[in-house]
Amino acid sequence: MRHLTDTHAHTVASTHAYSTVDEYFREAAEKGLQLFSVTDHGPEMPDAPHPWHFGNMRVLPRIKYGVAMLRGIEANILPEPRAIDANETLMSFMDFGIASLHEPVFPPVDAKTHTQAMIAAMETGRIQILGHPGNPNYPIHIEEVVRAARDNNVLIEINNSSFVSSRSGSAPICVEILETVQRLDWKVALASDSHVHYTIGDVDVALSKVDAIGFPEAQVVTMNPARLLGFLKEHGKSVADELSEWLKAQDMPAILEM
Ligand SMILES: [Zn+2]
Ligand SMILES: [Zn+2]
């Protein structure tokens, strides 16, 4: 089955990324993707957009060229006592949030510290996806992290870039994480982590790992917009209602599997 969404992409609003919102919309439409998300970096990252970037995303169209776009953030996980750099007010503008560990904001410490920080981020209730947890610079206690994700209804991201171009050495850890998610009967989000529009929707390597271990396709929440929006509704996000008419018009046999 085709993977029809992408929950992780950066625009020119993060200066180490190179594409505009419109370039992403066009590329997604050309590729037959049904939904993607803009998730620029949270305020503590050196090249993050000003916080107003997030508050003003309402000016962006929900749908363009037949493709839907979600308004997101890739928040930074912070050292204790703070958890993430996205407060309630900022998150009230967002359709969802990813939380990730990034070296410029959180210098690596040890597995116990990284594990606790990830869990604290998920326990805020403000994020829905744990971003690229397979980074070898941040060893973690995988089972503890996945259990906390399940307890807090947070998806574990299987980041395609981690296999292809970023965070070298991630691949075996990402597979171990995927196997742990399967064993604990939890759910994942597959995403490209695009920094340029040409790669939007590219999750082929992540998808091949899902196939290789026989991970249940029904537990890939990002497989289609219906499943993803249904998940966001569980988090009280109104975007599911805003896109309900558009959703009905999509050709999605998998809607019955929600
Ligand atoms: Zn990241
Ligand atoms: Zn990213």
63, amino acid identity? I
Instruction: Report the pLDDT averaged over residues 237-245.
Output: 95
Examine the pLDDT at 21 and tell me if it is beyond 50.
Answer: yes
- Strand segments (E) across the chain: 5-6, 35-41, 63-64, 67-76, 96-100, 129-130, 155-159, 188-191
Ligand nearest to the CA of 40: 2
Instruction: Report the pLDDT averaged over residues 83-89.
Output: 97
Residue 7 and residue 237 in contact, taking contact as beta carbons nearer than 8 Å: no
pLDDT in tens, 26-78: 999 999 999 999 999 999 999 999 999 999 999 999 999 999 999 999 999 99
Rounded to the nearest angstrom, the distance between the alpha carbon of 37 and the centre of ligand 2 is: 11
Query: Which one-letter DSSP state was computed for residue 48?
Result: P
Tokens of 105: 């904001």
Tokens of 217: 């396709």
Residue 159 and residue 8 in contact, taking contact as beta carbons nearer than 8 Å: yes
Q: For tokens 């959703």, what's the residue? A: 247
Gap between the Cα atoms of 227 and 190, Å rounded: 13
Gap between the Cα atoms of 165 and 16, Å rounded: 14
What are the domain boundaries of the chain?
5-257
Backbone angles phi, psi at 136, to 5 degrees: -65, -20
Superfamily of domain 5-257: Metal-dependent hydrolases (3.20.20.140)
Rounded to the nearest angstrom, the distance between the alpha carbon of 74 and the centre of ligand 2 is: 6
The per-residue pLDDT for 177 is: 98
The per-residue pLDDT for 57 is: 97
96-100 and 67-76 beta bridge pairing: parallel
What's the mean pLDDT when you consider all of the chain? 95
Rounded to the nearest angstrom, the distance between the alpha carbon of 74 and the centre of ligand 1 is: 7
pLDDT in tens, 132-186: 999 999 999 999 999 999 999 999 999 999 888 888 888 999 999 999 999 999 9
Rounded to the nearest angstrom, the distance between the alpha carbon of 10 and the centre of ligand 1 is: 10
Ligand nearest to the CA of 199: 2
